[in-house]
Amino acid sequence: MVSFVVEKPHRISNGVVSETTRLSIIPNNSSSAQKTLLKNLEIINGGQRVNAWVDSMRASSPTHLKSLPFSASSEKHLSSWIMKHPSALEMFKKITEASGGKQIVMFLDYDGTLSPIVDDPDKAFMSSKMRRTVKKLAKCFPTAIVTGRCIDKVYSFVKLAELYYAGSHGMDIKGPATGFSRHKRVKQSLLYQPASDYLPIIDEVCKQLLEKTKSTPGVIVENHKFTASVHFRCVEEKKWSELVLQVRSVLDKYPTLKLSQGRKVFEIRPMIEWDKGRALEFLLETLGFANSNNVFPVYIGDDRTDEDAFKALAFLSPNFPRIPMLRTLCKIRPR
């Protein structure tokens, strides 16, 4: 198993350090501290709970590299960092060599991996060059896009019928269009939606979130069919407390939904045991590679939600070589 994450340099008080998207929302990157914060979010109330959410929002929003003053030391540090964390594409020859002739299966995140991170999620277009690269991958290996976006939206960006798509954080899985798959292990009609019962609830929640947050400039609410997102990338920090209260006021009415946080985004998902990791397990099983020693799954992603996929592959394939720190396929700015 080969997994990829992205590290992005940013500055703290004592100089320039590297910040990885594996970083939790806790400033000191401690797993125990993360558990403590999450526990506190559940047991405290009022201003304390809001402050805890705002602190986590701030911790997961590093300063943009472009805004940092240039210095010889920072430039040297950046060059050294790039040397230690090469491009995933530049490393692909080593990946194929590491596979040892096993069947490679490619899993790709979309935002920040195949497309740049942008302020408007509707404008996260992938380049023509990237599309050609993914098309070539799909000719060689079974290839899937695994994303938090709904399938229809990500397909409108990717426009490749030969891929597998796992949208809504893996809660909506679809196989290649009829006649496009080069891999005969799976039926063309593959379709799996473990959260189908939640369709009307998610739709209702999105409408309420749109109404509740309309007074907060910069908020973007996205309906991903089986999940929802509330983006606060363009919201002034002084408005974050207000936004937390707005989102919580809606979600408190829906005990079957859970709220989590990504990079400058709140994620609303059904409270079921399903995530990107489970989606990968399902796809590997569908392709006939469940409990197989002849498969070499590769996952490339850049966000905290991709951790579910990394953990699943580490559990399924503990003996596979692991390359934990590589840059993604496209040039992106810090989130």
For residue range 215-234, list pLDDT tens digits in order: 999 999 999 999 999 999 99
Within the chain, residue ranges assigned H as helices are: 31-43, 46-59, 72-84, 92-98, 128-140, 151-158, 199-213, 240-251, 276-286, 307-316
Q: Please state which of the ranges 105-119, 206-220, 296-310 shows the lowest mean pLDDT.
A: 296-310
Residues facing 86 on adjacent strands: none
For 278-326, the three-class secondary structure string (H helix, E strand, C coil) is HHHHHHHHHCCCCCCCCEEEEEECCCHHHHHHHHHHHHHCCCCCCCCCC
Whether residue 306 lies in the annotated active site: no
The pLDDT mean for the chain works out to: 77
Residue 186 pLDDT > 70, yes or no?
no
Residues in CB range of 279: below 8 A, 6 or more apart: 146, 166, 169, 170, 171, 173, 309
The CA-based angle 252-256-257, given to 5 degrees, is: 65
* Overall average pLDDT of the 126-140 stretch: 92
pLDDT at 83 (0 to 100): 67
- Average pLDDT over every residue of 242-268: 93
From the list 55, 109, 302, 306, the catalytic residue is 109
In percent, the amount of the chain with pLDDT more than 70 equals: 68
For 75-100, the pLDDT digits (tens) are: 777 677 666 656 666 677 777 888 88
Fill in the DSSP letter of residue 235.
S
Please indicate whether residue 326 or residue 251 has the higher confidence score (pLDDT).
251
Q: Note the residue count of the chain.
A: 335
The answer to whether the beta carbons of residues 264 and 233 sit under 8 Å apart is yes
Report which DSSP code applies to 231: E
